[in-house]
Each structure stands twice: as C-alpha cells, then as structure tokens.
Structure 1
Amino acid sequence: MISKETIDKVFELARVEEVIADFVVLKKSGANYKGLSPFTNEKTPSFIVSPAKQIWKDFSSGKGGNVIAFLMEHEHFNYPESIKYIANKYNIEIVETNNFPENIEKKNERESLFIINKFAVSSFKENLNKEVSDSLEYLINRGLSKKIIDDFDLGFCLPKRSSFYESAKTKGFKDSYLEKTGLIIFNEEKVIDRFRDRIIFPIKSLSGRVLGFGGRTTISSKKTAKYINSPESEIYNKSKILYGIYESRQSIVKDDLCILVEGYMDVLQFHENGIKNVLASSGTSLTEDQITLISRLTSNIVLLFDGDTAGVNAALRSTDMILEKGLNVKICSFPEGEDPDSYVKDNKKDKTLDFINNNSKDFIEFKLSFYNEDLKDEDKKIDVIKSVIKSISKIPDRLKQEVYIKKCSQIIDIDESTLFNSLSSTEKNNSRLTRNKRISKNNDLSIVKKKKNIKPNNYFYELEKQIITILLKYGDNEITYEDVILSHSENGDIKEEKKNIKSKVFEKIFLDLQQDEIEFAHPPFQKIYKKLIELYNNQNKFVFEKFVNELDSDLSKIASDILIFDEKYSLHDWEKRNIYVKKIGSELSQLVNETLLNMRRYLIDERIKKLQKINIDKNKDELLQEVMRYSRLKKVLSSKLNRVV
C-alpha cells in the first residue's frame, strides 16, 4: 500500500489544472479554466476547472470531482494508479508500507493487461538494445536516432516461436491474460508469439499507458504481412487511439495544429526532424472517436497523404468527418513517389514545413483541383459541385458555411444564391436521414432513457443542497441571530423575550435540525452533512481541498458540483413554488435562518397534504384539529419569512 505520507504529499503538490492540461486544452476564463469535455462530443466548452478550489466539473456529462477523480474517470486508473501517476509527474518519491505481491491473479483483468503490456515493452526494448538482430541497424538506417528509438520505446520480439511467452511465464503471468493482450497466440498445442521476429511499436494512451502494439517485419516476403497490430482487447480499440498521441500531445497544443499522417515511421521521422505535432491513424480509416481525441488538443488539422488514388479517397472521406465535428481541415499531398517519411528525411524540418504551408489546401480548393478534368464536362461538373456542397453542409457553423459558399461561387463562377439553394436542399436531406436514425435509436432505448433521465428535483432536495452549500462555505463563521426565549413571569404567565444569540453557523444548523428532528432525505447529503458536523465539532480547521480529497468519489463529485461556481447559486424560480431563500451574498445569519425556516415550512406543508388525503369516518374532528395546528404553525413560519400564506 502507498503510505499516507506519500498520499498527503501528492495532494499537497498536485495542481488540478496542471494535471488535466495533460489531457484537455484549457483556456483561462476569469478565475477558472474552460475546455471541451473529454467525456462527450460537445462543440461549446462546458468543462470547468477551478484552481482556487482544486476541483473540476464537466457540465455536459455531469462528472466532476478532484484531481484523482479526473484520472479515475478519464484514464480508468484505480486509486493507487492515480496517486502514482501524479507522484511521477511531480517527482514525488513513492513510499509503500506493504508492496503489492507480484501475483497477477490478484489484479483485475484490465489492470492485468496493462501490467503485461508494460512488461512486454521493457522486454522488447531490452531485445532491441542487445542488438540480437539487424533490427536496430534497420531503424538507424531509416534515419532514426537512439533518442527517438528510446523516446517511443521501440523494441524487438525475438525470432524464436515462443521466446516472449517463456519470459512472461517466469514472471507468473496467467495464460488467459497473455492471450487477451494479443501478445500470445494459443493454437491447438502450440504457443506462438504474435510479434515474433518483428520490430515493435508500442501504442500508448494520452497518459502514456501502453494499450497495444504494432509490429513490422524486416523480411521482404509476399507471404508475410509487413505490419500487424494487436487485436481488439479490453484496453485496446484501434478506432479510438492514434499513434504518437502521448509523445506529440504537448506540441499539438502548443502549435494549435495536428499534422495527421498514415504510419508509424511517418510519425517517428517527423519527430526525428523536430516536427512533433504529428499523429498517425496507423493505416486505418480515420474514425469519429479519433477526431474527437484530436479535438481535445486542437481544432486545426492538416491531412498529409500519398498522392495516389487510394490516399486521395481516404483524405476526402476523412475531410467530411472532420468538418462535421466543427474542426478546421486542410489537405496536403506529396509529389509522386514521395511520402511523409521520405520527404522529411530528405528535406529536413524547414523545407518540409514550407512545403506543407505552401501546398495545404482547404477542402474546396482540394476537391476542385483534384477533379479539375471533370469540371470540363458539364455533367461531371455538377457532380463535383454537389460533392463540395455536401462537404459544406457538414459544417455546423453557419458563418463558416457562408464563407465557403462565397469562395466556391468565386472559383467555379456560379451565383451564390444557386449554391445556397443547393445547400439548403442538401441539409434537408441530411436532417431527414439523421431524424430517421434518431427515431430508430429512440425506439430501442426510449424506456431506458426515461428511467435514466429521472433526477431529484424536488423542494426538499434543493433545500438540503442549500444547507450543505452553507456548511461548505460558511460553516465555521460566527453569526448573530434573533431568537425568542420563553420564560415564566412572576404570576406564572408565559412570556416571550427576544434575544440576540451568537453562535457558529454549523452550531445553529445542527441544533435547529436536531431540535425539530429533521433528517436528510437524500443519503449523499446526509453523509456529507455528518462529516461536516463531525469535522467542525472537532474544531478542525476546514480546508475544502483537503475535505473533498477525503471523501469517496461519489461524495467528492457532489461537493465539487456544489462549489464549482460561486455564481451558480441560483434558486431556479423557487418563488413560483412558494419557497423563498436569500441568495448567497445576503447577510449570512438571515440566509441561514431563512433556509432553516423554509425547510420547516416545507415539511409542514407535506404533513398537511398527507393529513388532508386521509379519508376516515372516525376521529375526523381530531384530524381537522391537527391540520389546523399545523396550519397555524405554517402561518407563524410564513410571518417570520415575511410572506402571506
């Protein structure tokens, strides 16, 4: 187990905005930071990070919490892994009281696969560095330096049929997990290393965890595939990851541009020559998930591809998908016989960047240029224009659409109004198709969605939330409030005397709720309330960051949600529901008092409603008297709230 001292050090030094910035592009917004949600496909930023409170909130997905919660949600780390990730980032020594036994069977499946992949990387790297084959020489001859080879953790799997398997078994790894990583193939009675006699390219997540592998043979043979990849697994989905994302992420953010290439060697060669904002789709067609991943880092993409027909068609398919996600895209094709790898190797950084800048075209210029011959034939020209209009229709930004329509009009010399009419017709067809898909999907999921969308939104929930908010923000503050003290006069009559009472906010809330025997109806609020009262009663100094870090992930998320915005304490038309509460910023004692009064008033209202629904012949007078007693009490509370019943 990781020692408490290490955990405390992690929470002391970790900055939530710095950790999250490794995965999400954040921009300053007042006292907070904003960015696109890493959990949904939103186009307007609703992901908020608060440096002051050291918490984050994603309003598009509802997720939120502290820095640990982010890593657990985004990277699917468990708690110890999250602590270790932050410790490594801030160079904190990890002290463990009891080291975890090296027994893979005690790990869950997902973690087992990550552990095996990590071992595989070190094993393959060791093989490559031993120079047991010509693989290292091959990479060096391709123009890669030892630094780039090490930075990307390139390796080599030995030619022997089951060399890696035998090595893995000495570490106690389970056969079923070795097979699930895709590293080992169990074929009847044979055990085969999938990547035997291949150069290994580890494929990493945004945080640097190894998800899978690519393998390249150095043997020229028609019977042997040049490249093979890990099969899909619990941790590897090739449609959701891009090669180089871990090594290139910071440069993409810095340059606000992603250069997208096809293969592993393209990425490596670009890095070798100092161009580091580059990713590869690893020979697969670009997917929506991959575009979404890029959008976390930048909204600008340049597609680099070979100038053959297959490369052009792939680029055109990708272009429409990128436009549909609201990103900016340009296309750059290399001269015949060249590819990104060879071009940057021969021309180095500056000439390559000049070539890309001078030859990158937007989708209109590219399509019209590529189909230039077709524009000479009237029928084919119409098809080309329709293709351009279809691409424009994918763009969600209306202003961008208009700019591109004007540009298209100027290039092909067709009236803008004609093109706008064609765009409108295309968009109607798109909407019809989208609507039909949505209806089909909703028919399957309507029952599930109805259940899922049920949220607590009643009066008492809001009032309980307000109590927690007050305790979180002002629990230790001292307030003065007016209270009525009942006493007996000399002749025995009961008299009321108004007195100003001083107390801490938490004491006032605790005593009032206890006196009226009011219990929280919502368990999460009840748990947070008990922890807060216990903390204040022990006279501990309240520090929100420390408090939220000690809560479990669910409670941490709730506490973070409450305080993510100071300006978010709107009461959502409570007056229309006969609930009147002073907003944050009013006099604190009045805020506390009126919130408690509203809570009592609401409970009395509920009690009266229940009594009125009771339909019995006997004891009707007694029931009526009870209703009247509660009504009088409600009137007293309403008068204290300066409201008429």
Structure 2
Amino acid sequence: MIDQATIDRILDAAQIVDVVSEFVTLRKRGVNFVGLCPFHNEKTPSFSVSPAKGLCKCFSCGKGGNVVHFIMEHEQMSYYEALKYLAKKYNIEIKERELTNEERQAQSTRESMFIVNNFARDYFQNILKNHVDGRSIGMAYLRQRGFRDDIIEKFQVGYCTDSHDSLAQEALRLGYKKEFLVKTGVCYETDDHRLRDRFWGRIIFPVHTLSGKVVAFGGRVLSTQTKGIKVKYVNSPESEIYHKSSELYGIFFAKQAIVKQDRCFLVEGYTDVISMHQAGVENVVSSSGTALTPGQIRLIHRFTNNITVLYDGDVAGIKASLRGIDMLLEEGMNIKVCLLPDGEDPDSFARKHNSEGFQNFIRDHESDFIRFKTNLLMEDAGKDPIKRAELISDIVRSISVIPEAIVRDVYIKECSQQLRIEEKLLVAEVAKLREAQAAKANRPMLNPSPTNEPGQPASPNTASEGGTPPPYDAPMPEEVYESFIPQEGKEGQEFYKFERLILQTVIRYGERIMCNVKDEEGNEVPVRVLEYVISDLKGDELSFHNPQHRQILSEAAAHLYDNGFKAERYFLSHPDPTISKLCVDLINVRYQLSKYHSKTQKIVTDEERLYELVPMLMVNFKYAIVTEELKHLLYALQDPALANNNEKCDSLMKRYNSLREVQSLMAKRLGDRVVLR
C-alpha cells in the first residue's frame, strides 16, 4: 500500500496539462485548455483541463477527474497502477508499508511465476520465428490463415515443437526452477519425476491480464503430422496467478477501444479475436470457449454497459451459452446478439471484410437478446404445449433477472404479443420469481414488478412503519436509500440533491470560518462550516444517506483540527479512488463568469456568504427529508390492512400530523414554499 505522503508527492509533481498532452492535443482557452475527448468520438472539443485546479472533465460524456483518474480511465489501470505510472514518469520513489513474511513469500512466488511465463512467451516466439519447424509449420499455418506479421507480433503468438521436453530442458539450463515451471503449468511432472512440456506440437496464444502481464497460455494443434495429439486445444491449468473465470482473452488489447466505442464484442476463440483486430475491429474479447462467469462479466462491465455476442450457425453451441447471457442481463447490461451467415464464424467472416463492412453487417443484423432467445426457442417448441410452457418459463426467468423495472416492463409487453399470452400472467410470474430471488439473497424487495397495485408503496421506508428518521449513528438502511436515489422521470428525492450540495460545500469550504457565536461567558467563538453541518445533523438525529457521503463527512470531522488541513486537497488525494473521484465530480464547475461581469458589478462569491448559504442548505435538506417521509406515510395510510389495525393507524396519523407541522415551520423559514393542507 502506498503511503499518503508519497501520494501527495506524486500529485504535487504530476502536472495535469503535461500528462494529458501525451494523449490529447490541447489548446489554451482562457485560463484552461481544451481538446477532443479521448473517451468518445467527437468533432467539437468538449474536454477541458484546468491547470489551476489540477482537474480535467469532458462536459459531453462526463468522464474526467484529477491526473490519477485520467490515467486510470485512459490506460485502464487500477488506482495504484496509475500512481506507480506517474511516480515512474516523475522519478518519484514509492515507499510501501513493510510486508509480513507470509505476504513477502506470496509476492515472491507470484513474481517468480510471472517471470517463468515471460520466459515461456519469449521462447515460443523465438521458436516460431527462428526454428526450422516454427517457420515451416507454425508460421506457415498462421500465414495460411491470413494473419499478418504485425498482428502475430502484437498478440505475441508463438510455437512449440513436437519435442516433448525442449522447453523444459532449456528452462532448467537457464536456471529456472522446476517448482515454478510446474506451478505455472508451462510444464508438468510425470509419475517418474520427469519434466515434460504441456504445449508440445502446438501454436501458442499467450493470455494477458488487464495490465498486460502473461498469466496463461492456450495451445492449438495445427498439423496432422504431429502424432499422438487427440485434444485440439490445451490451456494452462488454474494457478496462483491464473483463474480462468476472471480472465478474458484479448482484454488487454481491447480495453481502450471498448471504452471509446462504448461497446464490446464477445466471441469464442483466440483466432476470432486476432482476425477481428486485423480487420480493424479492436473492441473484442473472447471467453476462450468456456461459459461466461460473473468475474468475466464484471471485467467487461468495467468498460462498457453494451455488449454484442457474435454467434456462428451452431444452434447447439448457442443454446449452451444462453445461461451466460442471462448472467449479463442480471448485471444490468444491454445485450445484442448477431448471427453470422451460415458456414461463417467471427474469424472467417472478419478475414473477408474490413472494419466498416464488419460493423455495417452487425448493425444491420444484430437483435435484442430477449427477442433472439424467444425466436430461437419457439422454433424448437413448435405447437407442443409442454415445450411452449417450458419456453415461456425460460423467457420469464431471463426477464426476471433484469434489474431495471422499465426495461422489464417493455420486455413483458413485447413477449406477451410475441408468445400470445396475457400480459398480467407474465407480470405475475416475473414478480413471483423476483420475490424468490430477493428471499434467497435475504434482502427486501425493491420494485418487485413493473407495475404496483393501487395503494401499495413503491418502495419500503422506515417512515411507513410510523418510525422516526434514522439517528446520526444509525443511517437509513442501504436498500431503502437506494430506492430514494433520483432517476430520470422519477419524482421526489430532493434530499439527495441537497445532500450533495452540502457535501460539495464541506469539501470546498469545510475548514473555513462561516460565522462567530458567543459562548456562555460572552466570548466570540468562530464556527467552521464542517462544525456547523455536523452539529446541525446531530441535533436532529439525521445523517447523510449515501455511505460515501457519510465516510467523507466522518473523515473530514476527524481531521478538522489538524494543522494545515484542507478538505478539498485531502479528498482529491484520498487513497480510495471512489472517494477522490466523487470529490472531483462535486467540485468541477463547467461555467465561470467572465471578467466582464466583475468589472460592471460586485460579484458575491459563495465563500463570502457561507453564513447564510450553509444554514439554508441544511434547512432545504431537512425539508426534503420530511416531504419524502410524508409521501411514504401517505402510501402506508392507503393500505387496506390498516382498517383492522386502529392502533397502527393512529400511530401513523399522529406521526403524519406532527411532520406536517414541522414542514409548515420549515416552509415559513424558507420563505418561498407553500404547504397545502
């Protein structure tokens, strides 16, 4: 772990204009610099870099942050990888904490395994290029498949001769340990303790991690002259550095293209990926012939929400992969499916088309996954009622895992028409499955079905049970908070907006003095913005609902009286990248008043009016919470079950009337709100 002092030195040294200029052509505009956004295609510059603040921001796609966030996004690195990248660029020594003996041993083992894999990659490449069998068999095969030399070099493709121990003997001769040759799976040990090559007689495809390290190999048999080979593909076994459920072939070479295109193509084999790259389509990865796993899905989801699965005409193979596609739906991804012409796979099809032709075909022939799955299964079902019932159950299961209620609703309507079955029945089945999924996960249901029955609350809330707002040390349950987050077209939840505004003020001015108050002895005592916010929240037993907001407020409070503490600086260099990124989002401002306005009139800044701005934000925050709770109390009071529970009904009414009084008082203080009774 990198200590905070080192992080601060890196951020002090790294000039954002200098770093961004390596990837984007910048032009000075006023006090800032602008250029074409590197994260999406655009013709008009909307990417702004502020050297004064050390921040960048695209005001079209919204991506940006400080210099570390830019490197993370552009190079698809982790937070610590980006810090190390910048430290190397500016010649800053990184001091990490002392490792335990166990951690040091584990790190040494991992590093040794990566070193062995690098040796094996170089060995295979050398055999392909310089060995007689490599040139006459391996390279001849690759060129027969139409692969260019630059593509072969890019993907570090190699070859292993049909000698069963040539790599093993060379590795031992050079001093590589038998232990790590076996651990990586490059070699295996026979019963009589001899060391043998795992990939003999095969063309070799190295598998790279997200950061470009060789973590495994895939070997494909390619010649009938090689005797005794029965299995077409051999892959590295699982190891301390390789977990096939978490890796995707080609992700290292595709990550930037996926981000820029905001879409990922998913194929099956190694050569599918390589051929598509050669055709100019680089946003492609392969599951390497295995079913998709949650780890692989999360890896894709880091870069895009949109995925297109490319299939050849193998119906059996398509059906076998449907479960993996359902997992993509469950992750909330937008999935398209494209069926290639008969007799074609992504490899052969890409070799016959350039990038434009390939993309045009996909655009013209891709289909939404639910429609594709429905059509595919309907062909099997025919008029058989049992098979049709199974088909409907299968489609309903797929729809039920989609997290977005509106998307589920659209699919239900379409499937109702396509399958000729009543929409109400599909709604009920989807709701039943979602309730079962929620119960299995041991969590409360949110939006159990696309539509709510009259009188039902849209989502649960502690207020609907007649409770009080959550105390400062017992924040609103996470599930309830999530149901409050504002969404497009969704009413209410203004408290979330004011919560962000308060936090924005805390980050910008938390350590500033906003006013003076007199103590019991009549002495004037300065009050800082952060002190006021915390005291005001505790006085009404309230807290921020977002867990990250709570963390920021808590850490700011802990450091408030530290010498030289500045909230903005502290959180911009926070070791948790989600916190530092949130800080960037909160302090970024797109527009600034020109100097013309300050010449003609006195402009009062937020900092100059903190004494009135902060209390007003706090009142607005509380007003929005009270309004939200009143709305949920009304939902609860409409429940027909209350007719037989007078005690609970009276409790809810008492709570409702009390909050109405509070709301009226707040409205008077705010001055521009009218509360209708």
- Provide the residue aligned with 1:598 in structure 2: none
Task: Report deviation, 1:310.
Answer: 2.2
**Pair 1:346-2:349 in alignment:** no
Structure 2 residue corresponding to 1:149, chosen from 148, 152, 156: 152
Task: Report deviation, 1:236.
Answer: 1.6
Per-residue Cα deviation, 1:297-337 (whole angstroms, up to 9, x for no partner): 22222222232232221243233222222222222233443
Task: Report deviation, 1:435.
Answer: 4.4
Between the aligned partners of 2:174 and 2:122, the Cα distance in structure 1 is: 13
- Provide the residue aligned with 1:43 in structure 2: none
Q: Is the Cα contact below 8 Å between 1:50 and 1:564 reproduced in 2?
A: no
Task: Report deviation, 1:217.
Answer: 2.2
Change (3 A) 1:5 1:179: farther
Structure 2 residue corresponding to 1:313, chosen from 313, 319, 324: 319
Structure 2 residue corresponding to 1:230, chosen from 223, 232, 236: 236
Q: Is the Cα contact below 8 Å between 2:71 and 2:77 reproduced in 1?
A: no
- Provide the residue aligned with 1:262 in structure 2: 268
- Provide the residue aligned with 2:647 in structure 1: none
Change (3 A) 1:479 1:216: same
Q: Describe the SS at the equivalent of 1:427.
A: helix
Structure 2 residue corresponding to 1:401, chosen from 387, 395, 408: 408
Task: Report deviation, 1:390.
Answer: 3.1
Change (3 A) 1:215 1:93: farther
Q: Is the Cα contact below 8 Å between 2:212 and 2:252 reproduced in 1?
A: yes
Per-residue Cα deviation, 1:362-388 (whole angstroms, up to 9, x for no partner): 232453255336334444334333433
Q: Is the Cα contact below 8 Å between 1:303 and 1:315 reproduced in 2?
A: no
Between the aligned partners of 2:162 and 2:90, the Cα distance in structure 1 is: 39
Task: Report deviation, 1:588.
Answer: 6.3
Change (3 A) 1:290 1:185: same
Between the aligned partners of 1:527 and 1:372, the Cα distance in structure 2 is: 60
Task: Report deviation, 1:144.
Answer: 0.8
Q: Describe the SS at the equivalent of 2:352.
A: helix
Change (3 A) 1:106 1:252: closer
Change (3 A) 1:177 1:349: same
Q: How many residues align?
A: 480
Between the aligned partners of 2:296 and 2:208, the Cα distance in structure 1 is: 14
Structure 2 residue corresponding to 1:421, chosen from 402, 421, 424: 424
Change (3 A) 1:397 1:112: same
Between the aligned partners of 1:97 and 1:421, the Cα distance in structure 2 is: 62
Q: Is the Cα contact below 8 Å between 1:475 and 1:536 reproduced in 2?
A: no
Change (3 A) 1:237 1:481: same
- Provide the residue aligned with 2:114 in structure 1: 114
**Pair 1:368-2:368 in alignment:** no
Change (3 A) 1:10 1:155: farther
Between the aligned partners of 1:201 and 1:110, the Cα distance in structure 2 is: 21
Residue identity opposite 1:237 in structure 2: H
Between the aligned partners of 1:381 and 1:550, the Cα distance in structure 2 is: 58
Q: Which runs of 5+ in 2 are unaligned?
A: 25-36, 50-60, 96-103, 444-469, 476-502, 532-551, 589-605, 615-677
Residue identity opposite 2:273 in structure 1: V
Between the aligned partners of 1:162 and 1:96, the Cα distance in structure 2 is: 42
- Provide the residue aligned with 1:208 in structure 2: 212
- Provide the residue aligned with 1:239 in structure 2: 245
Between the aligned partners of 1:154 and 1:246, the Cα distance in structure 2 is: 15
Change (3 A) 1:231 1:505: same
Between the aligned partners of 2:415 and 2:504, the Cα distance in structure 1 is: 55
Structure showing greater Rg: 1
Compute the TM-score of the two structures, normalised by the length of structure 1: 0.59
Structure 2 residue corresponding to 1:274, chosen from 262, 280, 286: 280
Task: Report deviation, 1:205.
Answer: 2.3
Change (3 A) 1:224 1:420: same
**Pair 1:249-2:255 in alignment:** yes
1:163-562 correspondence runs (5 A): 163-169=166-172, 173-188=176-191, 189-220=193-224, 223-362=229-368, 363-369=370-376, 371-372=378-379, 374-412=381-419, 414=420, 418-431=421-434, 433-435=436-438, 437-439=440-442, 536=564, 553=575
Between the aligned partners of 1:428 and 1:504, the Cα distance in structure 2 is: 52
Between the aligned partners of 2:372 and 2:553, the Cα distance in structure 1 is: 58
Q: Is the Cα contact below 8 Å between 1:112 and 1:177 reproduced in 2?
A: yes
Q: Describe the SS at the equivalent of 1:371.
A: helix
Between the aligned partners of 2:159 and 2:124, the Cα distance in structure 1 is: 5
Between the aligned partners of 1:117 and 1:277, the Cα distance in structure 2 is: 26
Task: Report deviation, 1:536.
Answer: 3.9
Per-residue Cα deviation, 1:72-102 (whole angstroms, up to 9, x for no partner): xx9678x6x65554478xxx3868899xxxx
Residue identity opposite 1:371 in structure 2: M
Change (3 A) 1:116 1:564: farther
Between the aligned partners of 2:390 and 2:410, the Cα distance in structure 1 is: 21
Between the aligned partners of 1:530 and 1:170, the Cα distance in structure 2 is: 58
Between the aligned partners of 2:275 and 2:474, the Cα distance in structure 1 is: 58
Structure number with higher relative contact order (C-alpha < 8 Å, ≥ 6 residues apart): 1
Residue identity opposite 1:274 in structure 2: G
Between the aligned partners of 2:261 and 2:396, the Cα distance in structure 1 is: 30
Q: Which runs of 5+ in 1 are unaligned?
A: 34-47, 56-65, 99-103, 441-456, 463-467, 487-495, 509-523, 568-583, 593-645
Between the aligned partners of 1:404 and 1:479, the Cα distance in structure 2 is: 53
Q: Describe the SS at the equivalent of 2:217.
A: strand
Q: Is the Cα contact below 8 Å between 1:368 and 1:384 reproduced in 2?
A: no
- Provide the residue aligned with 1:624 in structure 2: none
Between the aligned partners of 2:106 and 2:293, the Cα distance in structure 1 is: 36
Compute the TM-score of the two structures, normalised by the length of structure 2: 0.56
Between the aligned partners of 1:348 and 1:68, the Cα distance in structure 2 is: 32
Task: Report deviation, 1:148.
Answer: 1.1
Q: Describe the SS at the equivalent of 1:236.
A: coil
Q: Describe the SS at the equivalent of 2:343.
A: coil
Between the aligned partners of 2:579 and 2:245, the Cα distance in structure 1 is: 33
- Provide the residue aligned with 1:128 in structure 2: 128
Between the aligned partners of 2:573 and 2:381, the Cα distance in structure 1 is: 67
Q: Is the Cα contact below 8 Å between 1:315 and 1:331 reproduced in 2?
A: no
Change (3 A) 1:95 1:131: farther
Per-residue Cα deviation, 1:444-501 (whole angstroms, up to 9, x for no partner): xxxxxxxxxxxxx997999xxxxx9999856997999688999xxxxxxxxx8x6x89
Residue identity opposite 1:177 in structure 2: F
**Pair 1:139-2:145 in alignment:** no
Task: Report deviation, 1:190.
Answer: 0.9
Task: Report deviation, 1:348.
Answer: 4.3
Task: Report deviation, 1:361.
Answer: 2.6
Q: Describe the SS at the equivalent of 1:108.
A: helix
Between the aligned partners of 2:571 and 2:358, the Cα distance in structure 1 is: 50
Per-residue Cα deviation, 1:523-561 (whole angstroms, up to 9, x for no partner): x99999999988649xxxx7965x67988x47x988887
Q: Describe the SS at the equivalent of 1:138.
A: helix
Change (3 A) 1:186 1:11: farther
Q: Describe the SS at the equivalent of 1:326.
A: coil
1:615-630 correspondence runs (5 A): none
Between the aligned partners of 2:343 and 2:581, the Cα distance in structure 1 is: 56
Change (3 A) 1:335 1:96: same
RMSD of aligned alpha carbons = 5.4
Q: Describe the SS at the equivalent of 2:367.
A: coil
Change (3 A) 1:397 1:26: farther
Task: Report deviation, 1:10.
Answer: 4.9
